[in-house]
Amino acid sequence: MAYKLYGAALSPYSARCRMQMYAKGLEFEAVSVFDKLSPEEFAGLTPLKKVPALDVDGLILPESQVIAEYLEEVETDVPLMPVSAEERARVRLLARIGDLYLMMPLGKLFGQVNPQGRDPKLVQYMFGELDKAMGWLAHYVDGSKYAVGDKLSLADCALIPMLFFSSNITPLFGRECLLCETPVVHNYFTKTLDDPAVGRVVQELEEAFAKMMGPKTEPQKQPAE
């Protein structure tokens, strides 16, 4: 099958799919939606108009979780879901925590990066929500290299890009090392960088983040990294 992934370099949801595809050793064409397509052209592919979207021989699949599940079903040589029902449930739970509770405040904070026009009350509230999410995440990871079991899973594909944003956005608000404040999460994140698929995606995110912030911004590898 021929895969074409429509995404954006800095999108954590696009990064989630790239990490999965790298780990599985899949060949695919990465298309930067904002560089290559007009809004009308992208809407013609998916009315959701959100990245990522996967083109599989003309079949267009939006939504990162849908893409992840599809790839697990059709590309079975390198599975990224554990065997046991209990561990599979943990993978789904961790991805759910990331999607619902980490990305919501991170997305709102991203919109407040510019100090001009920043809403201090909104920022304070979103940091409270982010701190809660980090605490919940800390309950379900133990600081090992991978979130579930002893190899990369869809939980890592979901969480690592989000934790990258946690470590790189929050210093812009004076929280220099948010992940350091939750050592078990910090340990998990830094250890997981040794995985080739993780390291490759984090490098891509670093480059895209540095480009967004301007030439004076140095890419960060850890939340202090």
Q: Residue 77 has which token pair?
A: 């040589």
> pLDDT tens-digit profile of 133-188?
999 999 999 999 999 999 999 999 999 999 999 999 999 999 999 999 999 999 99
Per-residue model confidence (pLDDT) at position 44: 93
Is residue 57 classed exposed, middle or buried when 0-12, 13-18 and 19+ CB atoms within 10 A define those classes?
exposed
Mind listing the domains of the chain with CATH numbers?
3-74 (3.40.30.10), 85-213 (1.20.1050.10)
The pLDDT value given to residue 213? 86
Place of tokens 């079903």: 73
Single pTM value for the model: 0.91
